[in-house]
Amino acid sequence: MNNNSKVLALKYRPQIFEDLIGQEIVAETIINSIKADKIPNAYLFTGIRGIGKTTIARIVSKALNCSNGIEKICKENFCENCDSIIKSSHIDVLEMDAASKTGVDDVRDLIEFSRYGPTSAKYKIFIIDEVHMLSKQAFNALLKTLEEPPEYLKFIFATTEIKKIPITVVSRCQRFDLSRIKSSELFEFIKKIKDKENGKVTDDALKLIVKISEGSVRDALSLLDRALLSLDENTELDLNAAQKIFGYFDKSQLIDLFELILKGEENKVLNIYRKIYDQGVEPKVFINDFLELLYYFKNINSLTLESTNFSLNDEEFSKIKSISNQVDFSVLVLFWQFAISSLEELDIVSNEHLSIEMFLIRLMHLQSVKLEKKIQIENENEKVISNEIEDNISQNKIIDQIKNISQEEKNKPQAQTQLKVENKIFINSFNDLLVTCSEKKDIKLRYELEKNVNLVKFEKNRIEISFNDSLDKDFVKDLSSKLFEWTAERWIITFSKSKGEMSVKEKQLKSKKLLIDEVKTSEAYKNVIENFPDAELIDVKLKKDEDQND
């Protein structure tokens, strides 16, 4: 095959230890062991995809079998052994894909083949890729040979799932954990490849490729290959074009969206999200990127632009730093918790897009955490808790991060937010909540709580529930508003995948059924049935004693 017709990942595959990037310690250790003639029976390379596991296995095979020896190992003009290994045609170096040959019979054939010494090389080498795919019986069949192989036999294993390999196998190997390639190293590497290919790609577009590849060299080269083929020879690939090609939305859109959430601009927030969604971004990807952005807002002052792994450019980094100084830490923690909760909800709802929109709306209507509580004395025996909200318009600061869930008017007079302590109701259990609904004559809310809600957990200022399909769409808004009105405190209402307790109505029906079943065993019921065979017991009411002392 013409070298120019190969994909970049194969064309620029390392052939010697010096070509490897990011795995210098591994290479040095292997070279030293070969020079000292302390070669292990088996090598085990583990790590994520595309960081050089199979490539290093081939390089080790060449180092062991090079005709010139380890001191003068081939680097340019490859000897016959090295050239055959590169072409995967060496008779003594057998590569096996464990994903397609998983059975014990395949391993037995391998062991049978190992009984014969090498034909033209010093060592007979078995390279088994994705070794974790072997069956349990296949691993057991391999154990004895792996522990005490002939001197001429070496094994090299590669896997992405080290935990799936039996510990008895791992303990018989010299294990090397290959690390992800650092962003700066990977950037310089693909930049050199781009120059060799005479490609026209901006540094920002290359940084996006590094970001998406997540430390995988093969992924980075595959993306670069795709990028170079996507445009005309005379057109330079910039960041905007790369984002469209790879289906990756601009981080600045997410930063703008976050800022508008803090300001409570609901329509603008939803419009930005819908534009992001129209670009083909999956809801789960959006949530994960939102979580990443929250991390940067929290830790931006302790990070450098390089430490963000090219997730941000200079302008985005500066904008986050500017906004973060005016955002309360507790707001970011609250946002993080709701984002994680929304990730779980995506597995429940059928329309993930609508779930994300509701997630963004909930963020804008969470309880305000930037409230300063002051105790003011109006009269001698009367205390008032005043929730004073700092005026973000006059001070041009993003201080009012979250709109109160019960706030229906944007510019309520501050005096209206004052709540008297003497009117405060203490709700410490789900039953207290039902009683309060009755006392306040809120029949609709009590009906929803009793019939359509299953309690999962009830804590101070936090209720976790599951629900059925009949739950009113405004239930959470109504409940949060009423709880704030009755208790003078903000409450968090969360949905859970856990089924929770039976609803109050279900409990009542169950108790009623048990009572009816109990009455049916009584003599009185049997006498009634004897006299009236067609009679049916529908309900039972307990009679209260008029005089408890009788």
CATH number at residue 187: 1.10.8.60
Report which of residues 394 and 244 the model is more confident about: 244
51 and 190 in a single domain? The answer is no
Instruction: Give the type of residue at 80.
Output: E
Report which of residues 442 and 27 the model is more confident about: 27
Domain boundary among 123, 144, 177: 177
Q: What does the pLDDT read at residue 440?
A: 83
Indicate whether 403 pLDDT > 60: no
Report which of residues 432 and 519 the model is more confident about: 432
208 and 144 in a single domain? The answer is no
Count of domains in the chain?
2
Global confidence as pTM = 0.58
Q: Is 140 contained in some domain?
A: yes
Angular region, 33: left φ>0, alpha ψ -120 to 50, beta rest: alpha
Domain boundary among 227, 246, 265: 246
Please, is 423 exposed, middle or buried when counting C-beta atoms within 10 Å of its C-beta (0-12, 13-18, 19+)? exposed
Indicate whether 312 pLDDT > 90: no
DSSP for 409-438, written as a single string: STT--GGGG-EEGGG-----SHHHHHHHHH
Indicate whether 328 pLDDT > 90: no
Place 408 in a pLDDT band, splitting at 50, 70 and 90: very low
Distance between CA atoms of 478 and 453, rounded to whole angstroms? 14
Place 177 in a pLDDT band, splitting at 50, 70 and 90: very high
9 and 85 in a single domain? The answer is yes
Place 460 in a pLDDT band, splitting at 50, 70 and 90: confident
169 and 27 in a single domain? The answer is yes
DSSP for 10-52, written as a single string: HHT---SGGG-SS-HHHHHHHHHHHHTT---SEEEEE-STTSS
182: tokens are 């650092």
CATH number for the domain including 29?
Answer: 3.40.50.300
Q: Is 495 contained in some domain?
A: no
Distance between CA atoms of 503 and 455, rounded to whole angstroms? 7
Report which of residues 505 and 546 the model is more confident about: 505
Indicate whether 175 pLDDT > 90: yes
Indicate whether 5 pLDDT > 80: no
Report the interhelical angle of 475-487 vs 443-451 (nearest 10°).
120
Domain boundary among 130, 162, 177: 177
Query: pLDDT tens for residues 179-208?
Result: 888 888 899 999 999 999 888 889 888 988
197 and 143 in a single domain? The answer is no
28: tokens are 């040095």
21 and 38 in a single domain? The answer is yes
For residue 195, the enclosing domain spans 183-246
Average pLDDT rounded to a whole number, residues 119-135: 92
Residue 483's contacts (CB-CB under 8 Å, 6 or more residues apart) are: 427, 433, 489, 490, 491
Q: In sequence order, which ranges of 66-202 are alpha helices (DSSP H)?
A: 80-86, 104-114, 136-147, 167-170, 183-196
Query: pLDDT tens for residues 134-155?
Result: 999 999 999 989 989 999 999 9
Q: What does the pLDDT read at residue 228?
A: 87
125 and 12 in a single domain? The answer is yes
Residue 284's contacts (CB-CB under 8 Å, 6 or more residues apart) are: 343, 346, 352
Q: What does the pLDDT read at residue 368?
A: 41
10 and 106 in a single domain? The answer is yes
Q: What does the pLDDT read at residue 398?
A: 36
Query: pLDDT tens for residues 244-259?
Result: 788 776 677 888 888 8
Q: What does the pLDDT read at residue 207?
A: 87
